[in-house]
Chains A and B, each alone.
Chain A
Amino acid sequence: MIDIQLLTSPLDLQECMDFVSNPSAGGIVNFVGTVRNQTQDKPVLKLEFEAYTPMAISEMRKIAERATVKWPVEKIAIHHRTGTLNIGEIAVIIAVACPHRIAAFAACQFAIDTLKETVPIWKKEFFEDGAVWVAAHP
Chain B
Amino acid sequence: MCYTVSSGRCNFNQIKMKVLAFGIAKDIVGGAVINLDVAAGTTVMELKKTILNAYPAFEKLTALSIAVNNEYAEDTQIISTGDEVVLIPPVSGG
Binding site for B on A (CB under 8 A): 33, 49-52, 54-56, 58, 80, 91-92, 112, 115-124, 133-138
List B residues 1-34 near A (Cβ within 8 Å): 20, 22-24, 27
Contact of B61 with A136 in the complex, beta carbons under 8 Å: yes
* Contact residues of B: prevailing secondary structure: loop
Given contacts A52-B67, A120-B91, A133-B89, could you give 12 more A-B pairs where the C-beta distance is less than 8 Å?
Answer: A52-B22, A91-B94, A112-B94, A115-B93, A116-B94, A122-B23, A122-B92, A122-B93, A124-B23, A133-B92, A135-B92, A137-B60
**Which of B23, B88, B93 is the most central at the interface, judged by chain A CB atoms within 10 Å of its CB?**
B93
Contact of A122 with B94 in the complex, beta carbons under 8 Å: no
Residues of chain A within 8 A (CB-CB) of B67 are 52, 55, 120
Contact of B91 with A122 in the complex, beta carbons under 8 Å: yes
Binding site for A on B (CB under 8 A): 20, 22-24, 27, 60-62, 67, 70-72, 86, 88-94
Contact of A55 with B70 in the complex, beta carbons under 8 Å: yes
